[in-house]
A and B are shown apart, each in its own frame.
Chain A
Amino acid sequence: GENVEQHPSTLSVQEGDSAVIKCTYSDSASNYFPWYKQELGKGPQLIIDIRSNVGEKKDQRIAVTLNKTAKHFSLHITETQPEDSAVYFCAASGGASKIIFGSGTRLSIRP
Chain B
Amino acid sequence: NAGVTQTPKFRILKIGQSMTLQCTQDMNHNYMYWYRQDPGMGLKLIYYSVGAGITDKGEVPNGYNVSRSTTEDFPLRLELAAPSQTSVYFCASSYSSQGSFGNTIYFGEGSWLTVV
Measured CB to CB, the residues of A under 8 A from B are: 4, 6, 9, 31-32, 34, 41-46, 49, 51, 89, 93-99, 101-104
List of B residues within 8 angstroms of A49 by Cβ = 101-102
Chain B interface residue count, CB cutoff 8 Å, equals 22
Check A96/B109 contact, CB under 8 A, given A43-B90, A89-B43, A103-B40: no
Known: A43-B90, A93-B98, A95-B99. 19 other contacts (CB 8 A): A6-B42, A9-B40, A31-B101, A32-B99, A32-B100, A42-B109, A43-B4, A43-B109, A44-B43, A44-B90, A89-B43, A98-B48, A98-B99, A99-B98, A99-B105, A101-B42, A103-B40, A103-B42, A104-B41
A70 to B18, CA, bound (A): 46
How many pairs of A and B residues are in contact by the CB < 8 Å rule? 56
Q: Give the dominant DSSP class at B's interface.
A: loop
B97 contacts A by Cβ under 8 Å: yes
5 A-B contact pairs sorted by A residue (CB < 8 Å)? A43-B110, A49-B102, A94-B99, A102-B42, A104-B42
A67 to B36, CA, bound (A): 30
A5 to B110, CA, bound (A): 24
